[in-house]
């Protein structure tokens, strides 16, 4: 460990195997809080690489609970959080649209990081039990095609870094890889990140972890979502190759709007916003979800273009299918509970 720590302190990159070695020690409780804090801080100062992110993420995933998913081409649309935007719960809302369009979504998430309510807070407000056993979650995911996987319950070994993360009070590699640690083996993924400089490295990491297709997105203003406020940058992983792209709201018929137009509130307020979107009530919130759901369909390979994805997203909302998917989730959750 001392040799690996010195390597990071000297701003040298770790191999994937070396990152796994350190992560193994961390998540088996063999390192002190001071050692963990020093390692995370040194990685941040040095700059994180795809191999380091993959090594740590794979270790966390390997130690997570088991979710038995029998569906094909499963995806997640979780973001890193940490963008300090105070936006409403975009990816949580988009998950219902994606599921309504026939995509199986293993929605990995947590409580609030940079906003007033996180995905877990919203699902609770909707009446979804976020504390179901892994067996019951497996049933929900296979029957509904959508389940919420509450990160603290999925990753019990994360307890060894909880105090350090609170005391550091700054995002580290653990924030960056949170969306990479879904306990379900994903085929595709739409991942938002607040770090535009790591778009390509994050896409490489997704490829290292076995994703066949993925989009890593960073919106205008540094949001970990696509936005209507300006240019959205994204990296596309397709057939083991990574290409960089940008999109503008006007390309898809949306008006350019300031980020303030999609500010969120507390869990109750954001849940009301989610319901208004699923009921197809016109607003900047609806347009933002349609853009992100369209990107999600594109990330999954359900459609060939983002424009086709947006068209499908509009159909899922306008037809009531997205709202019906919410009702189905609540019904099945109650039955299994």
The answer to the question of whether 264 is labelled as a binding residue is no
The answer to the question of whether 287 is labelled as a binding residue is no
Report the alpha-carbon angle 183-188-193, nearest 5. Answer: 80
Instruction: For residue 26, give both structure tokens.
Output: 């961390």
Specify the pairing of strand 75-76 against strand 241-247. Answer: unpaired
Contact status, residue 189 vs residue 76, Cβ threshold 8 Å? yes
What is the sign, positive or negative, of the torsion defined by CA atoms of 151, 153, 157, 161? positive
The answer to the question of whether 114 is labelled as a binding residue is yes
The residues that bridge with 164 in the sheet, in sequence order, are: none
The residues that bridge with 235 in the sheet, in sequence order, are: 216, 244
Report the alpha-carbon angle 319-324-328, nearest 5. Answer: 160
The answer to the question of whether 197 is labelled as a binding residue is no
Phi, psi for 153 (deg, rounded to 5):
-80, -25
Specify the pairing of strand 188-192 against strand 213-218. Answer: parallel
The answer to the question of whether 225 is labelled as a binding residue is yes
Query: 103 CB contacts (<8 Å, ≥6 apart)?
Result: 73, 75, 145, 296, 297, 300, 302
The answer to the question of whether 91 is labelled as a binding residue is yes
The answer to the question of whether 115 is labelled as a binding residue is yes
Instruction: For residue 47, give both structure tokens.
Output: 């700059």
The alpha carbon of 312 is separated from its chain's Cα centroid by a whole number of angstroms, namely: 21
The answer to the question of whether 256 is labelled as a binding residue is no
Q: Which residue has the tokens 């992110």?
A: 53
The answer to the question of whether 188 is labelled as a binding residue is no
The answer to the question of whether 245 is labelled as a binding residue is no
The answer to the question of whether 122 is labelled as a binding residue is no
The answer to the question of whether 213 is labelled as a binding residue is no
The answer to the question of whether 92 is labelled as a binding residue is yes
**What is the C-alpha to C-alpha distance for residues 129 and 301, in angstroms, rounded to an integer?**
30
The answer to the question of whether 220 is labelled as a binding residue is no
The answer to the question of whether 83 is labelled as a binding residue is yes
Classify 232 as helix, strand or coil. strand
The answer to the question of whether 64 is labelled as a binding residue is no
The answer to the question of whether 24 is labelled as a binding residue is no
The answer to the question of whether 112 is labelled as a binding residue is yes
Instruction: For residue 49, give both structure tokens.
Output: 């690489």
The residues that bridge with 218 in the sheet, in sequence order, are: 233
**What is the C-alpha to C-alpha distance for residues 280 and 275, in angstroms, rounded to an integer?**
9
The answer to the question of whether 279 is labelled as a binding residue is no
The residues that bridge with 194 in the sheet, in sequence order, are: none
Going by the annotation, the residues of the binding site for Mg(2+) are 91, 224-225
Binding residues for anthranilate: 79, 110, 165
Binding-site entries? 79, 82-83, 87, 89-92, 107-115, 119, 165, 224-225
Annotated binding site for 5-phospho-alpha-D-ribose 1-diphosphate: 79, 82-83, 87, 89-92, 107-115, 119
């Amino acid at each position: 460990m001392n040799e690996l720590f010195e390597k990071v302190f000297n701003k040298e990159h770790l191999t994937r195997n070396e990152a796994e070695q350190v992560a193994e020690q961390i998540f088996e409780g063999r390192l002190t809080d001071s050692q963990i804090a020093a390692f995370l801080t040194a990685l941040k100062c040095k700059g994180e690489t795809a191999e380091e992110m993959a090594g740590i993420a794979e270790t966390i995933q390997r130690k997570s609970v088991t979710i038995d998913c029998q569906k094909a081409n499963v995806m997640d649309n979780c973001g890193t959080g940490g963008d300090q935007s105070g936006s409403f719960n975009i990816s949580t809302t988009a998950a219902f649209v994606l599921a309504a369009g026939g995509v199986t979504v293993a929605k990995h998430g947590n409580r609030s990081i940079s906003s007033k309510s996180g995905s877990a807070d919203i699902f609770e407000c909707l009446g979804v039990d976020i504390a179901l056993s892994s067996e019951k979650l497996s049933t929900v995911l296979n029957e509904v095609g959508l389940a919420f996987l509450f990160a603290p319950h999925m990753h019990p070994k994360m307890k060894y870094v909880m105090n350090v993360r609170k005391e550091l009070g700054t995002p580290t590699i653990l924030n960056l890889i949170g969306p990479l640690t879904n306990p379900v083996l994903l085929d595709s993924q739409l991942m938002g990140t607040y770090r535009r400089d790591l778009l390509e490295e994050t896409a490489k990491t997704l490829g290292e972890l076995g994703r066949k297709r993925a989009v890593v997105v960073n919106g205008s203003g540094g949001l970990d979502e696509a936005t209507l406020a300006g240019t959205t940058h994204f990296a596309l992983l397709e057939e083991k190759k990574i290409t960089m792209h940008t999109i503008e709201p006007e390309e898809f018929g949306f008006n350019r709007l300031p980020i303030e137009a999609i500010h969120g509130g507390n869990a109750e307020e954001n849940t009301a916003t989610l319901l208004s979107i699923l009921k197809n009530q016109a607003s900047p919130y609806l347009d933002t979800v349609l853009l992100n759901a369209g990107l999600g369909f594109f990330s999954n390979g359900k459609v060939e273009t983002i424009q086709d994805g947006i068209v499908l997203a509009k159909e899922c909302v306008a037809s009531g299918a997205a709202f019906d998917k919410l009702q189905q989730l609540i019904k099945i959750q109650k039955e299994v509970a």
